[in-house]
Amino acid sequence: MTAALVAGLLAGFGIAIPVGAVATYLVSLTARTSLRIGMCAALGVATADGLYALVAALGGTALASALHPVLEPLRWASGLVLVALAVRGGLTALRQYRDRRLATRSDRTPLSPGRAYLALLGITLLNPTTVVYFAALVLGGGSGTAAGPWQQGVFVLAAFAASASWQLLLAGGGALLGRVLTGRRGRLVTALVSSAVILALAVRMLVAPS
């Protein structure tokens, strides 16, 4: 059980810690809205990681071969969604700045905690990096596929807990960032920089050789 716990923690942190477009969006979203929304979004990311860990633990090596045909469509879908988010975020920030409206926590936002959770869950499920990572775990035998149901359950829960702890830490950082940058100009710069980073990462994902 200890081996499964350690393997799950390593798997969860391994996929969560590298900062990419999803992590950047999570921090920016929390800074522009509230910690509550950011925490729900963070749990959406962790849920996707946990689901992939579960599939990796139960699917065996057949999972890897089954995923290969859909990696390219997933890469394009994920990239296009991130491009749309980056463009929308930048345009919204510019419109709010031009209209002299502060994007503070007191603002009404159309994004509810539930929608934030589902949005980040969907984005992460489409992330080909997550798919490839857990497929590699299956091929490498690092998911505990040869262990019994109890060890597999420990692996999945540990992977989810590790991912959730890191994503919640990112959301907390976004909340602190939003608290510091309370001015109109500060929030505009934060939103535009975040959108530019997300857009660059998304374009890199789309043009990367398959």
Q: What per-residue confidence (pLDDT) applies to 62?
A: 62
In terms of phi and psi (left: phi > 0; alpha: psi -120 to 50; beta: otherwise), the region of 23 is: alpha
Do the Cβ atoms of 128 and 74 come closer than 8 Å?
A: yes
The structure's pTM equals: 0.72
Nearest by Cα to 113 from 50, 46, 176, 42: 42
Residues 6+ apart with CB under 8 A from 12: 49, 53, 158, 159, 160, 161, 162, 163, 164, 166
Q: What per-residue confidence (pLDDT) applies to 14?
A: 80
Residue 111 has pLDDT above 70, yes or no: yes
Each residue's pLDDT tens digit, 37-66: 999 999 999 999 888 888 777 765 566 566
Average pLDDT of 11-34?
A: 82
Average pLDDT of 189-205?
A: 77
**Lowest-pLDDT range of 32-36, 37-41, 85-89, 154-158:** 85-89
Burial class of residue 139 in the structure, from the number of CB atoms within 10 Å of its CB (0-12 exposed, 13-18 middle, 19+ buried): middle
CA 179 – CA 62 distance, rounded (Å): 47
Question: In whole numbers, what is the pLDDT of the chain averaged over residues?
Answer: 77
Q: What per-residue confidence (pLDDT) applies to 199?
A: 82
Each residue's pLDDT tens digit, 138-184: 555 555 554 577 877 888 898 899 999 999 999 998 888 777 765 66
Q: What per-residue confidence (pLDDT) applies to 76?
A: 82
Instruction: Output b/e per residue, 147-185; b: 16+ Cβ within 10 A.
Output: beeebbbbbbbbbbbbbbebbbebbbbbbebbeebeebe
Indicate the domain borders of the chain. 2-207
